[in-house]
Amino acid sequence: MQRRTFTKNMAMLATSSLAGNLSVFGKAEFEKNETVMTETIRPRAITMWDFSWLERRWPGAGYEDWDKALDELKDRGYDAVRIDAYPHLVAENPHKTWTLNEVWNTQMWGSPDVIQVRVQPELNKFIATCRERNIKVGLSSWFRQDVNNIRMKIDSPAKMADIWIKTLDSIAKDNLLDAILYVDLCNEWPGDLWCPFFVNDPPEHTWTYWHTDKSMMYMKESVELVKSAYPDVPVCYSFTGGVPALYAEKDLSFFDLLEHHTWIAQLNNGEFDKAVGYNYERFAPDGYKKLVQNSECVYRDRRDYWLQHLIDEIHTVATAARQANLPLITTECWGIVDFKDWPGLNWEIIKEMCEIGVQSAVATRQWIAIATSNFCGPQFVGMWRDVEWHVRLTQEIKSAQIFQDMLNKKIVNGLTQS
């Protein structure tokens, strides 16, 4: 009861904080749009199933039965999912069985060890299974490393566009394009874990440095080439962290949307992570031991402070997106980046952070698809089993309103609720 009262109070704060910042949106425009919202166009509740949808298919891994997993997703109120389409592997040989190296063995996304996968026809089967349930599919790529490192062949923006065009061709061949919500050409560009084939200028500018001249030219050329082949498919690159105000300062008019990822853990130069002592260890348990020791007390000792940081960041992102005239999607968010079912870890603090994140994003009217967290998948048992929590938040998302001018974007074609 105490937690729900606190969360309700913070939700009121999230809404009132937006009201206090109406000048950045334009108060007259906000009030005008309040009365002319289209009732049938609402945000989608989206989740990220990354490369887990294909790789975590051994018994008990969560995705071995797509019908079951997607039925459970639908039961929780979600109607969109973002997945890795492995475009570099599709372009090279869609029907080959690929041997992939693990990205990590401490996290619960994907496989914790070397694994073999085939992308097609599995990709199309999964998309078709989603379509049967009116679940739209966002395509992205983490550019998984196979044993021959095929991803390093992506040596130009034209090559980036080519692999995605070939992937969309393979989907179109089975008449499944109507199930695609949007395409994110690279996850969290230009983070070197996901796109080592791109060397920025200067080279040390990886994570969050999407706004360099070299990166901007690369994105623009690749996006425009994909859109020339598939003009009705919304296209973007996704970003994490950084300086959201740059969305308004840089010319991203070649994007159809912004996909922005944000977490309390990384705000203010990673202040929360530093207080916890978490350093994103990928092949050792040290980070999770620190989470057990410190994450809950660090959060609860300054709960209002951390949540206000999140609310402020969400409003900053929404303001910049509004100025850039681009709708927002967020599929990775709002509390701690890495978490899992582990002795001593408490999902309640994650759910509390994420609830405030959802309510703050909903209040801005700039988001057209909102995730509840980056743990909304069957492998995260402690989060997955709380069906009531998911239903309550997805109802809030799908009952939200969107600024009228955002409804003119082509991505809105995929938003109409059933």
What pLDDT, on a 0 to 100 scale, did the predictor assign at position 13?
Answer: 56
Residues linked to residue 44 through DSSP beta bridges, in sequence order: 369
What pLDDT, on a 0 to 100 scale, did the predictor assign at position 12?
Answer: 59
Q: Which of 154, 266, 139 is nearest to 218 (CA)?
A: 154
Residues linked to residue 118 through DSSP beta bridges, in sequence order: 97
User: Does the pLDDT value for residue 171 go beyond 80?
Assistant: yes
Q: Between 412 and 293, where is the model more confident?
A: 293
Q: Between 83 and 9, where is the model more confident?
A: 83
Most distant CA atoms of the chain, gap in Å? 57
The stretch 190-206 carries a mean pLDDT of 98
What pLDDT, on a 0 to 100 scale, did the predictor assign at position 28?
Answer: 33
Angle at 260 between CA 69 and CA 389, to 5 degrees: 40
DSSP 364: H
Give the chain's domain count.
Answer: 1
User: Does the pLDDT value for residue 95 go beyond 80?
Assistant: yes
pLDDT grade, residue 10 (50/70/90)?
low
Q: Between 191 and 405, where is the model more confident?
A: 191
User: Does the pLDDT value for residue 35 go beyond 60?
Assistant: no
Of the listed ranges 213-217, 258-262, 298-302, 407-411, the one predicted with least confidence: 407-411
CA distances from 136 to 19, 133, 139, 170, 221 (A): 32, 9, 10, 17, 26
CA distances from 270 to 206, 267, 330, 358 (A): 16, 5, 19, 21
Of the listed ranges 16-25, 73-82, 199-208, the one predicted with least confidence: 16-25
What pLDDT, on a 0 to 100 scale, did the predictor assign at position 408?
Answer: 83
What pLDDT, on a 0 to 100 scale, did the predictor assign at position 37?
Answer: 41
What pLDDT, on a 0 to 100 scale, did the predictor assign at position 60?
Answer: 97
pLDDT digits (tens, 9 = 90+) for 116-146: 999 999 999 999 999 999 999 999 999 999 9
Report residue 185 as tokens. 């050409």
Residues linked to residue 115 through DSSP beta bridges, in sequence order: 100
Residues linked to residue 395 through DSSP beta bridges, in sequence order: none
User: Does the pLDDT value for residue 26 go beyond 60?
Assistant: no
> How many helices and strands (H and E) does the chain possess?
17, 11
pLDDT grade, residue 211 (50/70/90)?
very high
User: What count of residues does the chain have?
Assistant: 418
pLDDT grade, residue 414 (50/70/90)?
confident
Question: Locate tokens 């690159």: which residue?
Answer: 237
Of the listed ranges 63-77, 324-338, 398-412, the one predicted with least confidence: 398-412
| Percent of the chain residues past pLDDT 90, beyond the cut | 87
Helix (H) or strand (E) holding 265: none
Q: Which residues of 340-352 are buried (b: 16+ CB within 10 A; e: fewer)?
A: beeeebebebbbb
Average pLDDT, the chain: 92
Of the listed ranges 128-132, 178-182, 255-259, 412-416, the one predicted with least confidence: 412-416
User: Does the pLDDT value for residue 188 go beyond 60?
Assistant: yes
Of the listed ranges 35-44, 229-238, 250-259, 394-403, the one predicted with least confidence: 35-44
Pairing status of strand 180-184 against strand 235-236: parallel
The whole domain housing 234 covers 2-414
CATH number, domain containing residue 309: 3.20.20.80
Distance, CA of 165 to CA of 173 (rounded, Å): 12
Q: Which of 227, 45, 54, 251 is nearest to 142 (CA)?
A: 54
What pLDDT, on a 0 to 100 scale, did the predictor assign at position 4?
Answer: 52
pLDDT grade, residue 92 (50/70/90)?
very high
Residue 68, number of CB atoms within 10 A of its CB:
12
Torsion sign over Cα 27, 33, 34, 35:
positive
The stretch 367-393 carries a mean pLDDT of 98
The stretch 74-92 carries a mean pLDDT of 98
pLDDT grade, residue 409 (50/70/90)?
confident
Phi, psi of 254, rounded to the nearest 5 degrees: -80, -10
Global confidence as pTM: 0.93
Report residue 135 as tokens. 């679940």
Cis bond upstream, residue 190 (ω within 30): yes
| Percent of the chain residues past pLDDT 70, beyond the cut | 90
3-state SS assignment for residue 125 = helix
The stretch 192-203 carries a mean pLDDT of 98
What pLDDT, on a 0 to 100 scale, did the predictor assign at position 238?
Answer: 98
pLDDT grade, residue 257 (50/70/90)?
very high
The stretch 385-411 carries a mean pLDDT of 94
